């Protein structure tokens, strides 16, 4: 799949003329510039672009590769941008302001794609697309640690990412462990690798991806949290949310979703979780929050990645 160049920017920065030309060439019904610009009746924060908020790095969902931001989420949102005749621009922003809805409400971006789990708490502040990815929490340890699962973590230092469903799950289920919070995934995985902590909790997709490139660590357990990721929009932005759903459905139907999935995870995706599982899912995202761990009636399981293989 072709990789399109995309840059990280802040929408307050003046738009490059090339972006405006791109929109005009696509035949979109844009009006004005900046705030108030619309395409196909969808309001945009910046002319010619679909602006995405994310929190880097979260490989393989979104991360820097040279001067580009690439990843599974990036490619999926590219499909939406292309459908609207736009380019995608990416804003790297704290995860807390993504899940709180602040970035969308203040016009920093049109959508948020951050490996973010759909949870009731988050749905109070933002609206989600249909689920596009199934996930669980997982346990990363040093390859020679001897740690096999949740029952081995009492009294040990366990890394969690701030504001994530992993943190929520750990708060609820690892009451005898010493939880250590890290701002982002890279710091968390480095802490496990360097021995600063005994283990790390995060979504299975990103931990398998990290372990596949670092044989000195391994994923030894998953916890059946039944989480599903969604693309977020500002509350009430039904026009954009429905367009995202249309594009996701078309991509699943015509094989583009599978192609993107295999590109980043090296294997075909499993069948989507059924509707009942979807309604029950409340974990986090690749970066969740607190009141959502209560949904994750964690049941430790063998590390058999479902949709994610990461290798």
- Mean pLDDT, to the nearest integer, of 121-141? 97
**Integer Cα distance of 113 and 77 in angstroms:** 8
Contact between residue 213 and residue 57 where contact means Cβ atoms under 8 Å apart: no
Helices 204-213 + 185-194 axis angle, to 10: 50
Residue 309: band (very low, low, confident or very high) from pLDDT cuts 50, 70, 90: very low
**Integer Cα distance of 138 and 241 in angstroms:** 30
What is the tens place of the pLDDT at every residue in 61-106?
999 999 999 999 999 999 999 999 999 999 999 999 999 999 999 9
Long-range pairs for 143-148: beta carbons < 8 A, 24 or more residues apart:
143/215, 143/216, 143/217, 143/218, 145/198, 145/199, 147/198, 147/199, 147/220, 148/220, 148/221
pTM for the structure as a whole: 0.78
Contact between residue 48 and residue 19 where contact means Cβ atoms under 8 Å apart: yes
Contact between residue 287 and residue 163 where contact means Cβ atoms under 8 Å apart: yes
Residue 35: band (very low, low, confident or very high) from pLDDT cuts 50, 70, 90: low
**Paired tokens of 46:** 């910046």
For 11, the 3-state DSSP assignment is coil
């Amino acid at each position: 799949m072709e990789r399109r160049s995309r840059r990280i920017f802040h929408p307050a920065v003046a738009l490059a003329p090339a972006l405006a030309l791109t929109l005009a060439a696509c035949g979109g019904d844009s009006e004005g510039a900046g705030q108030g610009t619309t395409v196909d009746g969808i309001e945009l924060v910046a002319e010619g672009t679909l602006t995405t908020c994310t929190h880097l790095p979260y490989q393989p969902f979104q991360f820097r590769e040279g001067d580009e931001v690439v990843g599974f989420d990036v490619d999926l949102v590219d499909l939406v941008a292309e459908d609207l005749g736009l380019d995608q621009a990416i804003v790297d922003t704290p995860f807390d302001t993504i899940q709180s809805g602040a970035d969308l409400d203040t016009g920093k971006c049109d959508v948020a794609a951050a490996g973010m789990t759909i949870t009731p708490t988050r749905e109070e502040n933002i609206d989600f697309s249909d689920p596009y990815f199934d996930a669980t929490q997982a346990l990363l340890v040093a390859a020679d640690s001897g740690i096999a699962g949740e029952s081995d973590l009492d009294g040990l230092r366990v890394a969690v990412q701030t504001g994530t469903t992993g943190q929520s799950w750990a708060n609820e289920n690892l009451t005898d462990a010493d939880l250590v919070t890290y701002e982002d995934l890279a710091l968390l995985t480095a802490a496990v690798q360097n021995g600063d902590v005994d283990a790390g909790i995060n979504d299975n997709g990103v931990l398998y991806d990290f372990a596949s490139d670092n044989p000195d660590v391994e994923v030894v357990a998953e916890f059946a949290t039944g989480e599903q990721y969604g693309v977020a929009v500002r509350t009430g932005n039904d026009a954009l949310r429905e367009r995202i759903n249309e594009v996701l459905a078309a991509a699943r139907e015509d094989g583009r979703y599978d192609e993107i999935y295999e590109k980043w995870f090296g294997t075909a995706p499993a069948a989507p979780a059924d509707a009942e599982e979807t309604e029950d899912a409340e974990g986090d995202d690749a970066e969740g929050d607190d009141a959502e761990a209560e949904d994750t009636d964690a049941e430790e399981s063998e590390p058999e990645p479902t949709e994610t293989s990461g290798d």
